[in-house]
């Protein structure tokens, strides 16, 4: 065990893991975190706490993560390279670990031009792969990026942050052939688990997984397939047309158009997807990104037959 | 007029077109403040020599001929320059009739003007005749000022090499080369293809009076890699099977024929993908290789993809569609916009194709082709001109008529010779001043199918006409060039290449020795675009400098 | 004496058109400046004419597809557009500089172009400038 | 070369308000090539300023001149008198030239007429595009001659983010090519795709802007006094 987080244990034990996502509030409101954590508690193995997703200012992912942990769910803290340099990030990792955080997902981060501070200066001192490498160095090498040991003074003990390291993968970006190379680089850098971009185009995902297996990468890392239930036709079309690296096949849109209760149909599609994903060799779990719809997660997990969640010690 | 030296004078011409009487001209002369002579109707020509003798005595280095409208002056101006022994640019013309017309309202119209426009009475020389003279004096002084500011301009005689480089030994190239050789020009006939040249030569010249041997040097299997120099003195670097050759010539005639558009790299606009969207001529062969397992095997024959077809290509497409449908059992969909069946034979062919089961689809706007969703094949999406809706259809193969498509080969040739293409990618900028055979570059001509002419009798006539144009250019043996081309201030030139890129005639180049841009006086046509573009204000056209132009704005 | 409207005329088209104009009111209103091609005019030259107090500047050349030097007219058109943009930014009436295209036979068009320019300048502001603030519109009259 | 664009006229105009005598000073090198501040542009701007002043009844003397380069002291000599006579210089050079002009004429107010953009190339007449970020530690050998620092919106060194679609960058999918697609295509063409499999470690940015204002000393070229 590298970090002894619940997520790590579930995956190590060979269970089909389930993670979800929790967006911190765009304010200092604590209650909303507790409420969202309430829906997810006991229904998933860990919950991602996003880091100023789409470059919109929200409560710090570490603070929100600690609050979520207090509310009874295990957080996966997301860290992007957009806003902090290597000094701030390593410092935050130490702090997060001290506050009980055991999982960190390393991301490049959305460009600030998509958010609500478009004139901001970006950092990108590190990229996501270098960030993974930094965390691995801290955990396994017990050193900072600069090579210095992680100890307070020469006489102090080495106290390294034992973090279960996650990374993202986008099977749908271009150049397509590079996508698996990039996954391999993340694994080489030290990623323990992967959560993918949300999947609608199952054929393309299966093709990507085939390439993953060809390189034997599924044996080196735990891959959690990303899913976002569709709430409406409008949302489906938006995802199809406006989100880079996402393709929503027309047959899903037609299905939603053909029914009255769009939300129920969206959940149904999601559950079908989970069942299909479980059949794919190398898929170790799912990551449910129910954007501002966290309360539906228990129903999806339930209908997919993934409850109860294993309790491991 | 201040600062006027006597090295410059005015000739007032009594021509009726100028609308000034002798008396008025005398009055004008006394007011000019510059030396002037009054001459009788110079534009008539007969008096030019005598006038020239009188003018020579004045010893003027520059003169301004004030008289009839400019169109009528072109000839007399040049003749007068010769008669006076002056450079052409030292003799400038001025339209006096303009001054007359501009002031005519001070006659009859004046009374009515006065009530409405108080400005008229404020003008100097309010009387009819006075106003007219004042307007003319003003115009002449403007003209003199421009002439005064114009630096002395030398002339240079440039020898014209008699040889012509003809590129392409197709019908147009061969006809042009034989025409030129018959007129005494050595012709180099460069042909890309190893075999095509000699055969075409034999076919087209057999029975003709001009033998292919005389005066024509054929370089088959060869390609022009680079062209240096300018009109009258080009050097072409030609890659031949025997190695690189340098050919000297005075003019170039491009007759590169129809371009090959079949490769998918033919340009961003090319519909071809090398797999299931093919040039029409490859369709039959590709169709014969299709697996036989399908129940219905469908093919698309696409016409009018870029341009509306000619009769010839429509006929070819109809025959192909008919053969594939009837003899090989394919379902053929023929896509066209407005099929040309005006000819009787074509009409019959069209009916036969339709009767045989060819599905004729009329479309509007752009036809789009992409990989079909299920399985292999190509999806054709189009706006049906009857249904007025977008329809899509899957076929195993699509054959597209290459008519009107741009080709990479064409663009490559154009780049080697520095000629511009038209909006369809054909070998001649679309500009009436160039028709039929000129290009943007002086001394480079174009003929035949590469400029869109594919009707053989017409093509041969054009090739001949273009060869004659090249002959007309080179026949004098020398080109008298006035050095009125742009002058580049090397200190200011930032070598930004703007002039090199924007010169329509490829006359600007970088003079490495000077470390600045320079203009070739032979190729430059004195339009001034380079000077208009230069961000460093390093370029001036001597006869049209800023100071001259501003002197005209009073 | 009032300054005239400067008309930069391509000698291949507009200048010839001007030579067939008979209306003295039009001719006396313009200062003709001959150009080898409108591709020669520069933004700075157009602005300098205004600086010298000329009420308006016309650039008159061959139709874009029919320029004797292939791209002269199209280059001039872009420069005139830029000049108008600069004028607007500097708070001047952009209509004071205009380009038009004519053939050597277009005497009537030449006449109309000059007449329209005079009318525009007399009005101070273009007819369609209704969004212009009232104060600006009132100022415009002084030209 | 260094590329720049002219500031909006309104901004320049309010900048020069209250200056009785203004010298518009063009620069004859980079900004001439990118058509932002050469002699022609200087003349146009001076004309526009004079016309705007006349329109608004502002009294201001506007002169103009252009020198070879505003980043070298000697080139200022011919305009020394004009600068001294003016109350302010409106420099049409890049940010380097504006500052250096201030240094040469310590007592003179020097105002910028341009916004300096990037190190770029003339992609075609009238179009300039960024190619180098001046990071001080060139990595082009590893990326097929396409710079990930300058041409990826996020300066990523280990491959494209998920925002690369059809060869375009999500930051501006219509106009901006994905730098990583370019790197990938180029290395594929060169048969060097294996270079991309290597993990690029966190890099040292101190050679560029992050190391503080840069300075180069070429010891053998420094003249002894």
Distances in Å between the alpha carbon of B498 and those of B282, B504, D27, D60? 44, 12, 17, 34
Q: Is C71 an interface residue toward B (CB < 8 Å)?
A: yes
Residue C136 confidence (pLDDT): 40
> pLDDT tens across D204-225, in order?
999 998 999 999 999 999 998 7
In a domain, residue D28? The reply is: yes
In this structure, the answer to whether residues D39 and D141 fall within a common structural domain is no
In this structure, the answer to whether residues D70 and D145 fall within a common structural domain is no
In this structure, the answer to whether residues D39 and D145 fall within a common structural domain is no
Range of weakest confidence among B285-294, B536-545, C58-67: B285-294
> pLDDT tens across B422-444, in order?
877 777 777 888 888 999 999 99
In this prediction, residue C141 has a pLDDT band, given cuts at 50, 70 and 90, of very low
In this structure, the answer to whether residues D58 and D145 fall within a common structural domain is no
Residue C51 confidence (pLDDT): 96
Residues of the domain holding A209: 6-303
User: In this structure, are residues A77 and A101 in contact, taking their beta carbons and an 8 Å threshold?
Assistant: yes
Residue C61 confidence (pLDDT): 96
* Measured distance CA(B176)–CA(B491) in Å, rounded: 46
In this prediction, residue B314 has a pLDDT band, given cuts at 50, 70 and 90, of confident
Place of tokens 């997919």: A304
* Measured distance CA(B102)–CA(B105) in Å, rounded: 7
> pLDDT tens across B101-121, in order?
877 654 444 444 444 444 443
In this structure, the answer to whether residues D199 and D111 fall within a common structural domain is no
Residue B271 confidence (pLDDT): 81
Distances in Å between the alpha carbon of D173 and those of D150, D159, D163? 17, 18, 9
Residue B108 confidence (pLDDT): 43
Q: Is D198 an interface residue toward C (CB < 8 Å)?
A: no
CATH number at residue A113: 3.20.20.220
In this prediction, residue B297 has a pLDDT band, given cuts at 50, 70 and 90, of confident
Q: Is D55 an interface residue toward C (CB < 8 Å)?
A: yes
In this structure, the answer to whether residues D109 and D15 fall within a common structural domain is yes
Q: Which residues of A touch D153 (CB under 8 A)?
A: 111, 113
In a domain, residue A95? The reply is: yes
Burial per residue of D105-141, b for 16 or more beta-carbon CB atoms within 10 angstroms, e otherwise: beeeebbbbbebbbebebeeeeebeeeebebeeeeee
Residue D154 confidence (pLDDT): 96
In this structure, the answer to whether residues D11 and D109 fall within a common structural domain is yes
The total number of structural domains that make up chain C: 1
Q: Mind telling me how many Å the CA of D166 is from chain B's nearest CA?
A: 15
* Measured distance CA(B415)–CA(B226) in Å, rounded: 9
Q: What percent of chain A has pLDDT over 70?
A: 100
Residue B340 confidence (pLDDT): 61
Q: Which residues of C touch B69 (CB under 8 A)?
A: 19
Contact D180 A122 (CB under 8 A): no
* Alpha carbon B223 to chain centroid, angstroms: 24
User: In this structure, are residues B519 and B530 in contact, taking their beta carbons and an 8 Å threshold?
Assistant: yes
Q: Is D10 an interface residue toward C (CB < 8 Å)?
A: yes
Residue C121 sits at φ, ψ, to 5 deg, of -70, -35
* Alpha carbon A127 to chain centroid, angstroms: 16
The secondary element (H helix, E strand) that includes residue D112 is strand D109-112
Residue B196 confidence (pLDDT): 59
The total number of structural domains that make up chain D: 2
Distances in Å between the alpha carbon of C77 and those of C58, C60, C101, C105? 11, 10, 9, 21
A143, β-bridge pairs: A149
- At residue A88, the 3 state secondary structure works out as helix
Show the tokens assigned to B184. Answer: 């005494």
Residue D127 sits at φ, ψ, to 5 deg, of -130, 125
Cis amide bond preceding D190, omega within 30: no
Contact B550 C68 (CB under 8 A): no
Residue B390 confidence (pLDDT): 86
Residue C126 confidence (pLDDT): 45
B429: nearest CB among C8, C45, C70: C70
- In chain B, the domains with their CATH numbers are 8-114+122-150 (3.40.50), 164-259+408-478 (3.50.50.60), 268-400 (3.50.50.60), 484-551 (3.30.70.20)
pLDDT over threshold 70, residue B311: yes
Residue B342 confidence (pLDDT): 64
In this prediction, residue B209 has a pLDDT band, given cuts at 50, 70 and 90, of very low
Q: Which residue of A has its CA nearest to D173?
A: A244
Range of weakest confidence among A283-297, B138-152, B250-264, B382-396: B250-264
Q: Which residues of D touch A167 (CB under 8 A)?
A: none
Residue B289 confidence (pLDDT): 83
Q: Which residues of D touch B502 (CB under 8 A)?
A: 125
User: In this structure, are residues B400 and B302 in contact, taking their beta carbons and an 8 Å threshold?
Assistant: yes
- Evaluate whether chains D and C are touching (3 or more beta carbon pairs less than 8 Å apart): yes
B138-142, B190-194, D36-40 — which one is most confidently predicted on average?
Answer: D36-40
* Measured distance CA(A3)–CA(A10) in Å, rounded: 12
pLDDT over threshold 90, residue B224: yes
Q: Which residue has the higher pLDDT, B169 or A63?
A: A63
Q: Is C141 an interface residue toward B (CB < 8 Å)?
A: no
Show the tokens assigned to D47. Answer: 């004309």
Contact C24 B101 (CB under 8 A): yes
In a domain, residue D129? The reply is: no
Category of D24 on φ-ψ map: left (φ > 0), alpha (ψ -120 to 50) or beta: beta
Burial class (CB in 10 A: 0-12, 13-18, 19+), B290: middle
B348: Cβ contacts below 8 Å, ≥ 6 apart: none
Arithmetic mean of pLDDT, C11-28: 88
Q: At what angle do helices B171-182 and B456-474 cross, to 10 degrees?
A: 40
Residue A18 confidence (pLDDT): 97
DSSP B419: P
User: In this structure, are residues C45 and C83 in contact, taking their beta carbons and an 8 Å threshold?
Assistant: no
Q: What is the ipTM of this complex?
A: 0.85
The secondary element (H helix, E strand) that includes residue B179 is helix B171-182
Q: Which residues of B touch C75 (CB under 8 A)?
A: 502, 529, 532-533
Residue B263 confidence (pLDDT): 55
Give the chains touching A; criterion: ≥3 Cβ pairs < 8 Å: D
Residue B129 confidence (pLDDT): 58
> pLDDT tens across C69-96, in order?
999 999 999 999 999 999 999 999 999 9
Residue B125: count other Cβ atoms within 10 Å of its Cβ.
16
In this structure, the answer to whether residues D77 and D140 fall within a common structural domain is no
Residue B261 confidence (pLDDT): 65
D128: Cβ contacts below 8 Å, ≥ 6 apart: D3, D34, D117, D120, D121, D122
Q: Mind telling me how many Å the CA of C135 is from chain B's nearest CA?
A: 27
Residue A38 confidence (pLDDT): 93
Burial per residue of B44-65, b for 16 or more beta-carbon CB atoms within 10 angstroms, e otherwise: eeebbeebbeebeebebbbbbb
> pLDDT tens across D145-165, in order?
999 999 999 999 999 998 888
In this prediction, residue B458 has a pLDDT band, given cuts at 50, 70 and 90, of confident
Q: Which residue of A has its CA nearest to D206?
A: A125
DSSP A301: H
CATH number at residue C100: 3.40.50
Range of weakest confidence among B492-496, B539-543, C138-142: C138-142
Q: What residues in chain D have their Cβ under 8 A from chain B's Cβ atoms?
A: 28-29, 32-33, 35, 38-41, 43, 66, 68, 122, 125
Contact D51 C51 (CB under 8 A): yes
In this structure, the answer to whether residues D91 and D161 fall within a common structural domain is no
> pLDDT tens across D24-64, in order?
999 999 999 999 999 999 999 999 999 999 999 999 999 99
In a domain, residue A245? The reply is: yes
* Measured distance CA(C105)–CA(D2) in Å, rounded: 48
pLDDT over threshold 80, residue A118: yes
Give the angle B22-B8-B151 at the CA atoms, nearest 5°: 140
Arithmetic mean of pLDDT, D81-99: 97
User: In this structure, are residues C100 and C76 in contact, taking their beta carbons and an 8 Å threshold?
Assistant: no
Residues of the domain holding D97: 2-117
pLDDT over threshold 50, residue C130: no
Residue B295 confidence (pLDDT): 63
In a domain, residue A68? The reply is: yes
Contact B549 C54 (CB under 8 A): no
Range of weakest confidence among A132-141, A194-203, D39-48: A194-203
In a domain, residue D208? The reply is: no
Picking from D117, D150, D166, the residue at the C-terminal end of a domain is D117
* Measured distance CA(B418)–CA(B436) in Å, rounded: 18
In this structure, the answer to whether residues D105 and D16 fall within a common structural domain is yes
Q: At what angle do helices A61-70 and A31-40 cross, to 10 degrees?
A: 60
Contact D205 A125 (CB under 8 A): yes
In this structure, the answer to whether residues D110 and D187 fall within a common structural domain is no
Residues of the domain holding C10: 5-140
* Measured distance CA(B316)–CA(B318) in Å, rounded: 6
Arithmetic mean of pLDDT, A161-166: 97
D129, β-bridge pairs: D121
Q: What residues in chain C have their Cβ under 8 A from chain D's Cβ atoms?
A: 42-44, 47-48, 50-51, 86-87, 89-92
Distances in Å between the alpha carbon of A23 and those of A48, A289, B288, C68? 8, 10, 60, 66
pLDDT over threshold 60, residue B309: yes
Average confidence score pLDDT of chain A: 94
The total number of structural domains that make up chain A: 1
- At residue C67, the 3 state secondary structure works out as coil
């Amino acid at each position: 065990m590298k970090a002894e987080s619940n997520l790590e244990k579930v995956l190590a034990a060979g269970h089909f893991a389930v993670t979800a996502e929790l967006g911190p509030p765009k304010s200092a409101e604590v209650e909303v975190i507790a409420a969202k954590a309430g829906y997810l508690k006991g229904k998933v193995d860990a919950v991602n706490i996003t880091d100023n997703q789409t470059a919109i200012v929200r409560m710090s992912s570490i603070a929100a993560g600690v609050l979520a942990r207090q509310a009874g769910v295990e957080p996966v803290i997301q860290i992007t390279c957009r806003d902090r340099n290597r000094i701030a990030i390593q410092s935050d990792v130490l702090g997060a670990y001290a506050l009980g955080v055991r999982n960190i997902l390393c991301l490049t981060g959305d460009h600030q031009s998509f958010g609500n501070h478009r004139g901001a200066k970006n950092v990108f001192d590190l990229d996501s792969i270098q960030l993974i490498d930094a965390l691995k160095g801290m955990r396994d090498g017990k050193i900072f990026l600069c090579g210095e040991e992680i100890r307070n003074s020469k006489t102090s003990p080495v106290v390294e942050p034992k973090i279960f390291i996650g990374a993202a993968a986008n099977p749908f970006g271009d150049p397509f052939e590079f996508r698996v190379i990039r996954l391999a680089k993340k694994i080489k850098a030290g990623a323990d688990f992967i959560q993918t971009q949300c999947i609608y185009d199952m054929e393309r995902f299966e093709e990507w997984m085939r390439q993953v297996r060809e390189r034997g990468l599924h044996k080196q890392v735990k891959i959690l397939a990303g899913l976002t239930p569709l709430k409406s036709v409008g949302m489906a079309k938006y995802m199809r047309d406006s989100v880079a690296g996402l393709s929503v096949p027309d047959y899903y849109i037609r299905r939603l158009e053909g029914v009255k209760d769009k939300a129920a149909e969206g959940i149904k599609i999601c559950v079908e997807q989970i069942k299909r994903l479980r059949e794919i060799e190398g898929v170790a779990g799912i990551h449910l990104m129910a954007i501002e719809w966290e309360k539906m997660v228990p129903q999806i997990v339930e209908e997919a037959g993934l409850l109860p969640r294993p309790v491991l010690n | 007029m201040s600062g006027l030296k006597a090295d410059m004078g005015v000739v007032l011409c009594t021509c009726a077109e100028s609308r000034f009487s002798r008396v008025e001209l005398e009055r004008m002369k006394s007011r000019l403040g510059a030396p002037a002579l009054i001459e009788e109707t110079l534009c008539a020509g007969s008096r030019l020599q005598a006038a020239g003798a009188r003018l020579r005595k004045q010893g003027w280095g520059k003169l301004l001929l004030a008289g009839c409208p400019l169109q009528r002056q072109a000839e007399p101006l040049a003749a007068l320059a010769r008669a006076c022994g002056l450079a052409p640019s030292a003799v400038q013309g001025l339209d006096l009739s303009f001054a007359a017309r501009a002031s005519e309202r001070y006659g009859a119209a004046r009374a009515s003007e006065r009530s409405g426009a108080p400005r008229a009475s404020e003008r100097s020389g309010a009387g009819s005749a006075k106003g007219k003279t004042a307007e003319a004096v003003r115009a002449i002084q403007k003209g003199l000022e421009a002439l005064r500011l114009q630096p002395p301009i030398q002339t240079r005689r440039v020898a014209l090499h008699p040889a012509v480089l003809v590129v392409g030994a197709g019908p147009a190239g061969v006809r042009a080369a034989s025409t030129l050789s018959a007129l005494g020009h050595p012709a180099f006939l460069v042909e890309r293809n190893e075999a095509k040249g000699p055969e075409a030569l034999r076919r087209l010249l057999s029975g003709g009076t001009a033998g292919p041997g005389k005066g024509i040097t054929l370089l088959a299997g060869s390609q022009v890699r680079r062209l240096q120099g300018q009109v009258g003195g080009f050097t072409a670097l030609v890659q031949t099977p025997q190695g690189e050759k340098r050919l000297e010539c005075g003019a170039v005639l491009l007759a590169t024929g129809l371009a090959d558009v079949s490769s998918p790299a033919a340009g961003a606009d090319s519909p071809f993908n090398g797999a299931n969207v093919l040039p029409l001529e490859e369709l039959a062969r590709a169709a014969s290789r299709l697996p036989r397992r399908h129940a219905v095997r469908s093919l698309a024959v696409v016409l009018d993809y870029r341009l509306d077809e000619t009769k010839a290509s429509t006929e070819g497409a109809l025959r192909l569609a008919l053969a594939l449908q009837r003899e090989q059992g394919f379902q053929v969909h023929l896509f066209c916009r407005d099929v040309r069946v005006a000819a009787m034979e074509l009409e019959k062919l069209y009916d036969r194709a339709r009767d045989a089961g060819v599905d004729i689809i009329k479309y509007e706007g752009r036809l789009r082709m992409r990989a079909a969703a299920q399985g292999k094949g190509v999806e054709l999406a189009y706006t049906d001109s009857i249904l007025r809706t977008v329809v899509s259809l899957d076929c195993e193969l699509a054959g597209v008529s290459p008519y009107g498509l741009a080709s990479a080969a064409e663009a490559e040739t154009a780049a080697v010779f520095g000629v511009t293409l038209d909006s369809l990618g054909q070998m001649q900028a679309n500009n009436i001043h160039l028709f039929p055979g000129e290009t943007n570059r002086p001394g480079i001509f174009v003929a035949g199918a590469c400029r869109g002419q594919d009707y053989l009798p017409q093509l041969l006539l054009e090739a001949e006409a273009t060869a004659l144009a090249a002959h007309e250019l080179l026949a004098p043996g020398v080109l008298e060039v006035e050095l009125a081309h742009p002058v580049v201030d090397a200190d200011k030139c930032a070598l930004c290449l703007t002039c090199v890129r924007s010169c329509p005639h490829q006359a600007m180049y970088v003079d490495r020795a000077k470390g600045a841009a320079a203009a070739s006086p032979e190729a430059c046509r004195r339009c001034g675009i380079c000077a208009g573009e230069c961000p460093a204000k390093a370029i001036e056209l001597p006869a049209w400098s800023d100071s001259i132009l501003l002197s005209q704005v009073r | 004496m009032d300054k005239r409207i400067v008309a930069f005329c391509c000698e291949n088209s507009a200048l010839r058109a001007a030579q067939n104009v008979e209306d003295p009111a039009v001719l006396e209103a313009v200062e003709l400046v001959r150009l080898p091609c409108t591709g020669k005019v520069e933004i700075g030259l157009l602005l300098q004419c205004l600086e010298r107090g000329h009420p308006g500047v016309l650039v008159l050349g061959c139709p874009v597809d029919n320029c004797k030097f292939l791209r002269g007219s199209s280059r001039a058109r872009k420069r005139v557009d830029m000049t108008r943009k600069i004028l607007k930014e500097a708070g001047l009436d952009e209509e004071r500089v205009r380009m038009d295209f004519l053939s050597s036979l277009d005497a009537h068009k030449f006449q109309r172009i000059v007449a329209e320019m005079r009318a525009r300048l007399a009005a101070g502001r273009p007819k369609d400038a209704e969004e212009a603030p009232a104060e600006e519109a009132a100022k415009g009259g002084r030209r | 070369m260094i590329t720049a664009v002219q500031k909006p006229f309104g901004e320049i105009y309010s900048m020069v308000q209250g200056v009785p005598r203004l010298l518009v000073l063009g620069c004859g090198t980079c900004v001439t090539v990118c058509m932002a501040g050469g002699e022609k542009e200087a003349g146009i701007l001076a004309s526009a300023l004079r016309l705007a002043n006349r329109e608004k009844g502002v009294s201001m003397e506007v002169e103009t001149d252009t020198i070879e380069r505003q980043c070298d002291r000697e080139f200022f000599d011919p305009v020394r008198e004009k600068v001294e006579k003016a109350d302010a210089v409106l420099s049409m050079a890049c940010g380097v030239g504006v500052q250096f002009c201030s240094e040469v004429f310590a007592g003179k107010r020097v105002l910028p007429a341009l916004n300096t953009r990037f190190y770029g190339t003339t992609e075609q007449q009238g179009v300039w595009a960024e190619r180098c970020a001046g990071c001080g530690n060139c990595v082009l050998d590893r990326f097929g001659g396409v710079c990930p620092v300058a041409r990826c919106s996020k300066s990523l060194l280990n491959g494209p983010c998920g925002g690369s679609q059809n060869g375009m960058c999500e930051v501006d999918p219509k106009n901006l090519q994905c730098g990583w697609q370019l790197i990938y295509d180029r290395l594929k063409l060169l048969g060097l795709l294996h270079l991309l499999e290597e993990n690029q470690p966190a890099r040292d940015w101190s050679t560029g802007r992050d190391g503080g204002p840069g300075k180069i000393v070429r010891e053998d070229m420094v003249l002894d006094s």
